[in-house]
Structure formats: structure tokens, C-alpha cells
A and B are shown apart, each in its own frame.
Chain A
Amino acid sequence: MRYIPYDEVVKAVKNLIAYSASNLPPDAIDALKKAIEKEKSPVSREVLKQILENADIASSETRPLCQDTGLAVFFVKVGEDVKIEGGTLKGAINQGTEEAYRENYLRASTCEPFSRANLKDKIGYNLPAIIHFDLVEGDKIEIEYAAKGGGSENVSRATVLPPASGKEGIIQFVKEVVSNGGGNPCPPLTVGVGIGGTFEKSAISSKHALFRDIGSKNPDPELAELEAILLEELNKLGIGAMGMGGTQTVLAVHIEANPCHIASLPVSVNIQCHSSRHSHITI
């Protein structure tokens, strides 16, 4: 059994969040630079230039990339041979989240669903974090983090298709979701698609798909092909950067597929705005 001090996890989480808030990862910057070269609309190119200039300013002056610094979303793989010393893993992740958001002047965006009252004094600053745990072999902890803004979550959708719909049905559903979103989710987008599993498994997979480096190739050739088809289809919609019309609506489509019930074909689409703030660490 390996023991990791509670404070080490808190510190690691704080660093992930603070760095991500003002540093767009290299995969996102590369994807945006490629989009400027390909974009045919001058208005959209202007928006893309502003987005890249914003990334420069945020990084060099340590300012948040966007005022929506998101809910803190984590995927955590916990080795079965590791134990936290001095507290719980969940506690450490939440404490790291609260301290990072408060100390770095990020926005506290969690609220009660009905009264809409901010929870920063009741539960904690931008708490609770959204954490998905998975148990794996080994004695390490892998923490993946993303800041998930409201605008792009608002247009995300889940459905369960009849199995006969097949790939055609999936393509149709993803197109509908992106088309209906228009400029609201702040394109150019990364589109996470979760296929198969159960209703909730497909939704969680669609979220996790967004944590992959933008534009990295899917190791499964069939999924890689479907990603390429979807990317081409979605960029025919003409939405463009911030919805102002253009050819670069989507930077990448990422699919995660799971075995599913013989009677069902669950499909979820989780949308990520152009400010794709994601990072990971293994402890």
C-alpha cells in the first residue's frame, strides 16, 4: 500500500486549476491557429484572432481566459493500492478547488437550483466540484480536470435512439444539437459524443471525450472514421466563430463508445466552447 499525504493532493489540484484558468493548453492553441488558416469568413477570422490574442494576454498577465471559470469537473482514476493519509481523496479535491478558485480571483459559479442563491458561503467557494471516480490497478492517482462553463453545457443533449438508427441516426442527432446551439456555446467547439452504455454512461462518456487532446486521433479506426465524417458534416452548418457565419464551427469531434443493451442505442453530445481549459496530473 502506498500512502499519499492529503496536502499533496490539495496542492496538486490547486496547481491544475490555477494554471488552467489562464493558460489555454497547446492542443487548443494549435487547433485555433489551424482554424484561422482554414476559415473563409473575414468576420470569423477576426473573432479567432481576438481569441488567440486573449490567450496571450491571459497567460502573460495571469488573468482568467474567460469570466466563466466554470464548475470544476474531475475524472479521477484511483489505484487500488493507494491510500490518502490525513483525510479523504474527495475532501482533498474539494479543498483544492475551493482554495484555487478563491485565491486566484476566479468566479464562484455554483448555486441552488431553485432559489439560484450562490453557494459560496453555504457549501464553499465554487463547491461542490463534480468528481467522477474510477478504481484501477496500481498505486497511483490520475487526476484529469476541466473548467466547464455554462454556455456550452446549456446546449448539450442526451437521447436514446432505436438501435436501427445506426450511424446515420447518430450523425443526425449530433448535427441537430450543434445546429440548434448556433453561436450560444461560443464556437469553434469541441464536440464530445458518448455512444452506447446506459443513459447516464453515455452522458459521462461524452464529457470524458472532451478531456482528450483536441484533434488527437481516436485509436479505434471505426470511431476515427466516424469522427472525421462528423467533423466534415458539422462544418457544413456555416455557424462559424461565435455564430457570425463561417466554415470553422467545430475544431474536433471526440467519440467514446461503450457496449450497450441489445434494445438501446444511447447517444449523448457534450459541447465544449473554444476556451477548452483542461489539464491532468498523475500522483
Chain B
Amino acid sequence: MGNSYHLTTPLSNDEVEKLKAGDIVYFTGVLYTARDAAHKRLVELLEKGEELPFPLEGAVIYFVGPTPPKPGEPIGSAGPTTSYRMDSYSPTLIKHGLKGMIGKGKRNQAVKDACVQHKAIYFGATGGAGALLGKRVKSSEIIAYPELGPEAIRKLEVENFPVTVINDTYGNDLYQQGRELYEIK
């Protein structure tokens, strides 16, 4: 296993460059949530040169569609959703300053290339650990597109939110390399 880091968002290039595939990171600070529909709108704003609903520089986006919160709680269960649906949008966001994405499952080559070229990281969170991950969310506020329901953009304050580095800024891919390490042919 790699190293373990406690990082506070937003992320700097220095912080991003020290991370390697297989490292474990505990995030404290702000994560923004977005799924397909929200990504589409963010990319359209960037193409038109308009301002985004949150600062992209150093930001970390979490791909999640939580369960409804119980009364008095900030969020329900909140594990990662499958990331490939965001593949066509992520490179544009990375080019404009996004430093981290949290989800589950493989990304395409364009996303991996963008991570190397513009210094960004794709992190994996444990799918199906929605209760544990939801508990690490201290507050949640819808900051854009409330009409999208569970797909609205939320600003989450998190504490010690556990993720693993999958794709780093050096072109490493834990899904590929981890599997090669344990595959018996």
C-alpha cells in the first residue's frame, strides 16, 4: 500500500503532484457534488465563457446521488456513483482548474491524459459504503440547479473523508496496475 495523507481542499499543484496511485487520502474541507446533468451545464458555461456557480481552481468534485436525508441530518447515505458517465465532461473542467474527482470505476484515456497534462487526480471512494461516507459529511447546501433534484450541485463540508488515488499526475492507474499485480494467468 502507498502513503496516507490528510489534505484540506482546495488542492494545490504541489499537493496533487506528491500523490501516487494506491495512496490513501483523508479529505477535510469542501467537496462539490455533480453528476451527468450538472456536468453538462458546467461545461456549457465554460464554453460560453460565463462564471461557474463555484470556484473551479483547486476544487474537488464528488460524483454522488445521495439518499434523501432524515430530518435534522445534512445528507443521507452518500457513496460514489460510477464515473465513466462524466468522462466526456471531465477533461474540460480539469483544463479550467479542477484538481480532484471522486467516484468509482474506470476512466477513459482522455481523462487520464488530462490528469497528467493539467495536474489532477482521480480518486476512488468505496462504493456501497454510503452510511460511512455520509457520516463524514458535516453540512450540505444546494448551491446550483435545485431543479435537478438529487443531481443538483451541493457544497459539502467533509471531515476525514477517505479516498484512494486511482489515476495520478504521472499516468499511473491503480485499476490496471493493482490488477496486474494479483492476476494469475
Q: Which residues of B contact A240 (CB under 8 A)?
A: 178-179, 182
User: A266 an interface residue at 8 Å Cβ cutoff?
Assistant: no
| Residue pair B106, A183 in contact (C-beta under 8 Å) | yes
Most chain-B Cβ atoms within 10 A of its Cβ — which of A53, A118, A183?
Answer: A183
B154-181 interface with A by 8 A CB criterion: 162, 164, 166, 174-175, 177-181
Whether A46 pairs with B24 at a CB distance below 8 angstroms is yes
Please state if B79 and A67 are interface contacts (CB–CB under 8 Å): yes
Distance of A22 Cα from B178 Cα, bound (Å): 31
Choose from A67, A182, A183, A243 the contact partner of B130 (Cβ within 8 Å).
A67
Given contacts A106-B67, A244-B174, contact A43 B1 (CB under 8 A): yes
Alpha-carbon gap, A106 to B65, bound state (A): 12
Could you tell me the distance between the alpha carbons of A174 and B175 in the complex, rounded to whole angstroms?
Answer: 20
- Tell me the complex Cα distance, A149–B128, Å: 10
Task: Say which residue of A69, A149, A184, A236 sits within 8 Å of B106 (CB atoms).
Answer: A184
Chain B residue nearest in CB terms to A243: B175
Q: Write out the residue numbers on chain A whose beta carbons fall within 8 Å of the beta carbon of B183.
A: 236-238
In residues 76-106 of chain B, which contact A (Cβ within 8 Å)?
76-79, 81-82, 84, 104-106
B182 engages A66 (CB within 8 Å)? no
**Least distance between B59 CB and chain A CB atoms (Å):** 22
With a CB–CB cut-off of 8 A, which chain A residues contact B185?
236
B135 close to chain A: CB less than 8 A: yes
**For B134, what are the chain A residues with a Cβ–Cβ distance below 8 Å?**
63, 67
- Size category of the A interface is 35 or more
Interface centre among A22, A64, A106, A149 (most CB of B within 10 A): A64
Which residues in chain A, 210-257, are within 8 Å of chain B measured between CB atoms?
Answer: 236-240, 242-247
The chain A residue sitting closest to B182, CB to CB, is: A238
> A38 vs B47: C-alpha distance in the bound complex, in angstroms?
50
**Chain A positions within 8 Å of B104 at CB level:** 151, 183-184, 186, 242-243
- Check: B64 CB closer than 8 A to any chain A CB: yes
Q: Is B150 interfacial (CB-CB < 8 Å)?
A: yes
Contacts of B179 in A (CB 8 A): 182, 237-240, 243, 245
- Tell me the interface secondary structure of chain A in the complex: loop
Residues in B with CB closer than 8 Å to A273 are: 127-128
Which residues does chain A contribute within 8 Å of B68, judged by CB atoms? 105, 107
Contact present for A182 and B76 (CB under 8 Å):
no
* A69 neighbours in B (Cβ, 8 Å): 67, 77
Q: Is B74 an interface residue (CB 8 A)?
A: no
Residues in B with CB closer than 8 Å to A43 are 1-2, 22, 164, 174, 178
Q: In the complex, what residues of A have CB within 8 A of residue B150's CB?
A: 107
Q: Count chain B residues whose beta carbon lies closer than 8 angstroms to a beta carbon of A.
A: 48
Q: Is the CB of B67 within 8 A of A245?
A: no
CB distance from B80 to the nearest CB of A (A): 9
User: B110: CB under 8 A from chain A?
Assistant: no
User: B124 contacts the other chain (Cβ, under 8 Å)?
Assistant: yes
User: With A67-B77, A107-B65 given, is the CB distance from A54 to B129 under 8 Å?
Assistant: yes
> Whole-angstrom distance between the alpha carbons of A279 and B184 in the complex?
35
User: In this complex, what residue of A is CB-closest to B66?
Assistant: A67
Among B66, B77, B135, B177, point to the contact of A65 (Cβ < 8 A): B77
Q: Determine the residue in chain B with the shortest Cβ distance to A273.
A: B128
- A137-154 contact mask (Cβ, 8 Å, vs B): 1 or 0: 000000000000101001
| B182 touching A182, Cβ below 8 Å | no
In the complex, the answer to whether A64 meets B67 with C-beta atoms within 8 Å is yes
- Residues in B neighbouring A58, C-beta threshold 8 A: 77, 130-131
The verdict on A244 contacting B124 (CB below 8 Å), with A66-B79, A118-B149, A238-B183 known, is yes
> Counting CB contacts under 8 A, is B126 at the interface?
yes
Chain B CB within 8 A of A51 CB = yes
Give A54 to B162 CA distance when docked, in angstroms.
Answer: 12
B69 within 8 A of partner (CB): yes
CB–CB A182/B105 < 8 A:
yes
Q: Are A65 and B181 in contact (CB under 8 A)?
A: no
Is B48 part of the binding interface, using a Cβ–Cβ cutoff of 8 Å? Answer: no
Can you offer 6 A-B residue contacts whose CB atoms are under 8 A?
A57-B132, A67-B67, A237-B183, A238-B180, A244-B124, A245-B181
Q: Told that A46-B1, A242-B127 touch, could you supply 13 new A-B pairs with CB distance under 8 A?
A: A47-B164, A54-B129, A65-B128, A65-B131, A67-B66, A151-B82, A184-B104, A240-B178, A240-B182, A243-B106, A244-B175, A245-B177, A273-B128
